[in-house]
Every structure is written in C-alpha cells, then in structure tokens.
Structure 1
Amino acid sequence: MRTVAYRYRDAIAPASPGWLEAVERVYTDVALPTEPGYRPERDRLLADLQTHPADRVLVDTLATLGNDPEEICSWVAAIEAAGAEVVTVESGAIASEGLLQGANLSVQQRRLRLREGHARRRLQALPPPGKPPYGYRRGQGRYLIDRATAPVVTAFVNEFLLYGSLRGAVRFIEGKLGKRISVSTGRRWLTHPVYRGDLKYQDGQVLRDTHAAIISREEAAQIDRLLRRNRPLPPRTAAAPRSLAGLVICQACRQPLTISKTTPKNTPRGQAKTYLYLRPSGCPKTPRCPALPYDEALNRIVAQICRELPQAVAQFTASIPPGAPAPGTGLQGEIAAKEAAIAQLPALEESGLLDAETLALRRYKLRGEISMLHQQLAQLPPVNLQELSQSVSIPQFWLDLSETERRFFFREFIREIQILRQENDWWVELVLVF
C-alpha cells in the first residue's frame, strides 16, 4: 500500500510530527497570510497521483486541503478520482460527504483562520489576541501603560526588590493597595517578558522593546538574581528578618541552624533583653549539638568573608587566560551582527531578492534570536567583580548594613555557611558562589 501525505502549516510551526516517517513522501505548503491560495505542493500532489497512483493521502485535518468547504470538497473529489483515499490523522476517518458537511469542518476552518491571523500578528510584532496583561491597555497597535493599574505592579516590584520576599510583596499590595493576587500571579509579574517591554508569543519566541516597560532592564536583572539565589533556600527564609537565616548548616549533624530568641527570666519589666542563638533543628545526636550565639557567629562569618572573598575572586580572575575577551564580548558581537542583518533586509526587498512575506519572517526570527542573546548576556557575572570584592572585604562595611541589606549581600556571594566543631571549639567554613 502506497501512502503519501499533505501538510499545510504555519511558517513558524514546530517540527514535523512523528507519523510522517511512515509515509513515502510528504507534500508541504507553507501558509502565507497574504496569499492563502498559494499552494504549489498541493498541485504537485494531484499531478503526481495521475502518474504514480497512491492508495492513501494522509492529512492532519480536512481543513488543510482548502480555505472553505467548497474548495475542500473539490480537492477531496479530485484526489478520490485519482484512485486515493483521503484519511485524516486527527480522527483516523476516511473523508465522506457526511464528514465534509459536518460541524467539525467549520470548527477546523475557524481554527485555521485564527492561526493565520496569529501568524500575521507575530510577523508584524503586534500584541497577541486576548485581554491585555494587568497594568497595560491596548492602543495604537501595541500595549500602553495603564495609569490606573500599572502603579500596583510598580509597588509590588519595588517591595520585592527591597526585601526579596515574593509572599511579602503579595501581602504588601493587599494591605496597602487593596489588590489581592496569588503568589503565582506575583511571580508572573516579576518574570513575564511583557512587563519588561517585550512580547512573548505562543511559540515561545520573544521580541524585545515592542512597548513601554514597567520593569527596567536593571530591575529585571536584579529580580532574576534574587529569584535564582532564593530558589535553593527554604521558602520561609527568603525574606526572614535575620541575614543568616537559611544559610548556616551544622556539619556535624548536617541540620540547618535556625534562629531562636530567648529572654532571661525574672528580668524587670521594660528592661528585658532578647538574646539570639543559632540552633540545629532536628539534630539527631545525643547530646544535641549546642547552640551558637548569633552575634558571635555573625562577627566570625563577616571576618571570614573579608579574608576569603578577595582570594576567591583573584583565583576566579586568574583562571581566565591573559588577553582573553570579556565573557560578554562574543555575545555582543553576535547581537551586533544580527542587528546589522536586520538593517540590510529592506535593501534586499528593494532589489527583489526577498518578498515582503519572507522579509517579515526573517526579521521575526532575527529579533527572537537577539532576545535570546540578551538573556544570556544578562546572566553573566558583573564585569567589575574585582573592584566589588575589594569594597565588600572591609568588616565595617558589613557591620554598618541593616539586616535586610546584609541578607542581600550574603546571598549574593555565599551559597552555604558550614559550622565545624571540635570538642568545645567551633569555626566557620564558607561555600562561595564562585
């Protein structure tokens, strides 16, 4: 039994499905939004059936054979006249008069028209259909900042940048602004490209700088760092009031050290003083590993950072070969090359080497590739790492910070703090991010 297939797909559709491997030949037409009737492969299929008959012609759906029911009926009749059956992969059914006149065909046609409309919007860098994101409204063919709702998003972002707590920022805008959202919605506000001035389409492609941004590029880079460094930490320690929360581990029992408060008994009212300790939670040893005074541990950790951080940065810098370009130089070169290619596209259209459809598709793909390169560039370490390490290697720098500010810098440089013990003595060992 000889089987061939016909496909009519979007220009930026994903790779071919696996079922095409079982057919002898695949005839594929690419959908052109401005010329839906241009299907040279469909004509070639019918011509080949006249000279090399086939038993079956596979199609995704009957809607792929034409743009309206009458055209589909005529093509099904022409293929059957050539001695082949038209079989839809979606339902596995053989085309018949009843199927052609059924409700499924109109649904398939509507889906096809919607996909073509979505493809046109993507190629023109227009916003996708549907309700605009919270904080934006539609106008002038793009997203415009909604002055009534965008301040809520801005306040949420500022609160997260200040304290690094996603749940805390959610509670903040509910208490201060009366806007109740879920944690997942708050995370989407922080990470979705639309709030950074970019458009993200259903195929995963991202186009940069298509509308005004609520979150600047610098804020977006800081948000990504905060979310990335908070990911391995226990959820409740992401915005804990103490800077060492979630970072300290007892190496003897491999249990995290939690922060506890004690107040001496029989202290006169108004004169009570609170003492902080680091205690290993769930210590299985007998006797349990002793608690550590929080302030003493903090001072030792600060002293250890000031000793180790410059050495670690120097070793990291020395590992880069002399004369080697900066890590982002190659990415910046690729971005410049692709932007130059976009600038050349209008000249290629004027010379007749590219038509309007091909030019729009090429520009769309190049802009998506540029966006991916910018994302990689934003994830690289700062270029002034050496100078930054010298600035934070002064003990007074750490001691002058608030707990919130100190927590920010601790998690910027430290992955884990281990407490090593020997009899009644203990010391600190740092696991830096480098």
Structure 2
Amino acid sequence: MTIFVYSYSDPLLDAAPEPELWGVEVDRIYSDWGQRQQLIQLLTDLDTGDRPDYLLLRRLDELGDNLSEIGDRLQHIENYGVGIIATEQNYQSDQPLDQKALGQLFQTIGDRLRQQKIQRGHAKNRRQFLPPPGKAPYGYKRGQDRYLIDRSTAPVVKDFCEHFLLFGSLRGAVRHLEQRFGKKIAVSTGRNWLSNPVYRGQLHYCDGTTIPKTHAAILTDNEAAQIDRLLRRNRPLAPRSASAPRCLAGLVQCQTCGSALTISRVSRRNHSKTYLYLRPLACPCKPKCRAIAYDKIFRATVQSICQEFPAIAQQYQGPSLDQQQGQIQQEIQQKESLIAALPDLTAQGIFDPETAVQRRYVLRSEISQLQTQLNQLPPANLGAIAKTITLESFWYDLSEAERRFYLREFIEQIQLHRTSRDDWQIQLKFIFSTSFRYTDE
C-alpha cells in the first residue's frame, strides 16, 4: 500500500509539521510553506500516473484558499481513485458522508477560512509592529501606526507608578490615586498597570511575543526593572501584609513552630502610648511561642544588614555581574546589527521582503527577551547602595513605609530561631545571598 502526505502551512499562522506527526510510514511527503507549489507538483504526479493508494491531509482546507478551490481539487484527486484521509477532520473518501454531514463539514471549513483570513490580517499587522486591535490602554490614544501618549491621562499612570516605586505598596498607590486625582481603580487594575508592557514602550501580542521600542514609554527601563523586582518580592506575601504600614509585616517567620508572625498592638487603659509585638499567627506548640517586642527584632535586623551586606554586595558587584551584563548587552547589539543589515540583504536578493519582515519580527522579540534578562540581574549600583543601607542612622531616619521598601528590596525572609523560652536569634535570608545569623545577647 502506497501512502502520500500533503501539508500546507501559513508562515504567518503555523509552524511546519514534524514528519513524526503522521504516525505511519509514508512513501512521499509534499509540504508547502506559504506557496502551494508542492500541491501543483502532487497533482502533476497524479496526472502522469504516479498515484498512491491513500493521500493523508491534516485538514481539507489545506487544499485551497476558498471552498471552490478545495472542492475542485478534492474531486480531482478522488477521480484518480486515490483515497483521502483528513487526520484532524471527520473525513475519509472510502467512507462517504451523508449530505447533511458533508454540508456541516464544509460549513466548518468555511468558518475556519474566514477566521484564518482575520488572523492573517492581524499577523501582518504584528509583523509591521502595529498596535493590536481594540481600545488603547489608559494613558494612550491610538495613532495611525502606533500608540500616542494622552497628555490628559498619562500623568495619572506616571504618578501611580512613582508612588508604588516610592513606598512599594500596591494598595497604597491605589488609595493615593483616588485621593489625588479622584480616579478609582481596582487593585487588579493597578497590578495590570504596573506590569503592562505598553507603559514600557513595548507591544505584547496574543502569540506571546513582546516587541520593544514601538512607541513612547511612560516608564523608563530602570523604573520598569525596579517595579518587577518589587512585584516579585511582594508575591509571596499576603495582600494585606504587602501594603501593611509596618516594615516587618509578612517578613518574619518562627522556625520553631513554622508560623508566620503577625504584628499586634497593645495599649494600657487610660494611656495613649501603644506597644508593638510580633506573635505567631497559628502556633501549635504548648505552651505557645512567646511574643517578642517589634523594636527588638527591627534593631537586630538593621544590625545584621550593616554587618553582612557589604560582603554580599562585593560578591555580586564583582567581575561575574559585569560579565553577565556585558554578554547580554553584546548579544543585543549583535541582533540590532542584524536588523540594520536586513534592507541590504533584501536589496541583494538574499531575503525576499516577506522573509525579511519575519526575520525582523523574530529578532525584535529576541531582543525583548534579552532585555528582560538584563533587568532581572541585581542592580548595577549595588555597591553604592550597600554604602548607604549599611549605616544604622540611615534606617532610623526613614519612615516605616520607606523602611518597608528597602527591606523588601533585599530581604526575602527573616527567620526567628528560639534558643530558649526567652532567648532568640534571627537568620536573614537575602535576595542575593545565602543566609547568615545574628544572635540576641
């Protein structure tokens, strides 16, 4: 039994099928990519008598661009006595469908062709880096070929992001927006604003591709990288802890009972002064782990940072970080050079215009991925930051919101180890380093 295979892939929509897709040993494969030259060759071979017993297709709509072409070519092939099997559709020529089922099949094919036409138009727009269909995001308006900054709404987005960068609190930034501009948004909307590539001068398409530098950005690269770090630090925290006014909220965990520590406020009757304690939220031990004064743990945390963070910064600020940054920047420059050379390659006939457009699209997407890797590296000025945050006076001059920002920028968790009922020590788990210990004496 002789089996031929034919497949058609649209370069704007599909990837070429793998040979293993068919699951059987085939004698010949005809595969088209954008043009149906192999289909013409298949029909020519059939006319000259080189005919298989069966022809395998994924779908009947691969035989043409409209129902008329598909029907004519289907009938033409079957007239030679060749059996047709569509592996992704309910069609086998040796098992004829009734009139109703055949009509439903061609109705489905027609719907798919119309959908592909729309998708092909969107794909062509993506290759030209045009904005996706739909309303422009808040802060922008649609131009002829790109998003344009809306001067009446962009300052609202900018101020929201700057407030988040200053205090590291998403809910606080949402409240600030309502108080200053009267603009009410949901917390989920604020989170989307912070992570939306559009505000960074990028376009993100439905196929998962992100293209950088397509329009004027509201956020700089440094601001975007810092926002990503803050969102990543806040992700393991409970929503209320992430925006709590106290800087240690959500960071401290008791290693004896495994419970997170919550902040409790205690006051005496007829006294205005209040006291803050950290106590386990759900301690299973008997007797339960005792609460500890908030200020004691904060002071121990500051002393630990001042003692150990310079070594951590020195470790990451060395040649290894510079080498990583230089390597990624070099790769970005190489890809930008390839993009600049595409017009010359097209003029020389090495690339046809469609291939050059596709290649530029892929290169721009790869540059975006490299830029994301670069933004995820530790800050380039980590050494200068270390000189500042290792001064005890620096921490005590900050507000609680500012302390919260800096602590979450560098500390992943504060682990509390109890050596006895009244004695304890903390272990700081830094973002950039292994843990170290500070003992309460």
TM (norm. structure 2) is: 0.87
Cα deviation per residue 1:214-271 (whole Å; 9 max; x = unaligned)? 332222111100111112222221111000111112222222221111111243xxxx
Counterpart CA distance in 2 for 1:387 and 1:356 is 49
For residues 33-432 of structure 1, the aligned pairs below 5 Å read 38-50=35-47, 51-94=49-92, 98-99=102-103, 102-173=106-177, 177=181, 179-267=183-271, 272-316=272-316, 326-423=323-420, 424-432=422-430
**Deviation at 1:6?**
1.9
> Residues 134 and 41 (structure 1 numbering): CA distance in 2 closer, same or farther, change over 3 Å?
farther
**Deviation at 1:175?**
5.8
Residue type of the partner of 2:203?
A: L
- Secondary structure of 1:417's counterpart equals strand
> Residues 145 and 287 (structure 1 numbering): CA distance in 2 closer, same or farther, change over 3 Å?
same
- Secondary structure of 1:327's counterpart equals helix
> Residues 338 and 72 (structure 1 numbering): CA distance in 2 closer, same or farther, change over 3 Å?
same
Contact kept, 8 Å, 2:264 with 2:277, in 1: the verdict is yes
TM (norm. structure 1) is: 0.88
State which drifts further: 203-212 or 80-89: 80-89
Q: Give the gaps of 5 or more residues in structure 1.
A: 32-37
- Secondary structure of 2:260's counterpart equals strand
Contact kept, 8 Å, 1:73 with 1:100, in 2: the verdict is no
> Residues 60 and 156 (structure 1 numbering): CA distance in 2 closer, same or farther, change over 3 Å?
farther
> Residues 29 and 184 (structure 1 numbering): CA distance in 2 closer, same or farther, change over 3 Å?
farther
Cα deviation per residue 1:348-374 (whole Å; 9 max; x = unaligned)? 111122211111111111111111111
Counterpart CA distance in 1 for 2:412 and 2:105 is 64
Counterpart CA distance in 1 for 2:364 and 2:189 is 27
> Residues 189 and 56 (structure 1 numbering): CA distance in 2 closer, same or farther, change over 3 Å?
farther
- What count of residue pairs does the alignment treat as equivalent? 421
Contact kept, 8 Å, 1:61 with 1:108, in 2: the verdict is no
**Deviation at 1:23?**
6.1
> Residues 312 and 109 (structure 1 numbering): CA distance in 2 closer, same or farther, change over 3 Å?
closer
Contact kept, 8 Å, 2:306 with 2:389, in 1: the verdict is yes
> Residues 147 and 60 (structure 1 numbering): CA distance in 2 closer, same or farther, change over 3 Å?
farther
> Residues 205 and 314 (structure 1 numbering): CA distance in 2 closer, same or farther, change over 3 Å?
same
> Residues 27 and 99 (structure 1 numbering): CA distance in 2 closer, same or farther, change over 3 Å?
farther
Counterpart CA distance in 2 for 1:82 and 1:178 is 74
Residue type of the partner of 1:54?
A: P
Counterpart CA distance in 2 for 1:364 and 1:176 is 41
Q: CA RMSD in A?
A: 2.6
> Residues 355 and 281 (structure 1 numbering): CA distance in 2 closer, same or farther, change over 3 Å?
same
State which drifts further: 144-153 or 340-349: 144-153
Residue type of the partner of 1:395?
A: E
Counterpart of 1:28? 31
**Deviation at 1:108?**
1.9
Contact kept, 8 Å, 2:254 with 2:415, in 1: the verdict is yes
Q: Give the gaps of 5 or more residues in structure 2.
A: 434-441
Contact kept, 8 Å, 1:258 with 1:280, in 2: the verdict is yes
Counterpart CA distance in 1 for 2:314 and 2:395 is 21
> Residues 73 and 183 (structure 1 numbering): CA distance in 2 closer, same or farther, change over 3 Å?
same
**Deviation at 1:169?**
3.4
Contact kept, 8 Å, 1:8 with 1:65, in 2: the verdict is no
Counterpart of 1:34? none
Residue type of the partner of 1:30?
A: W
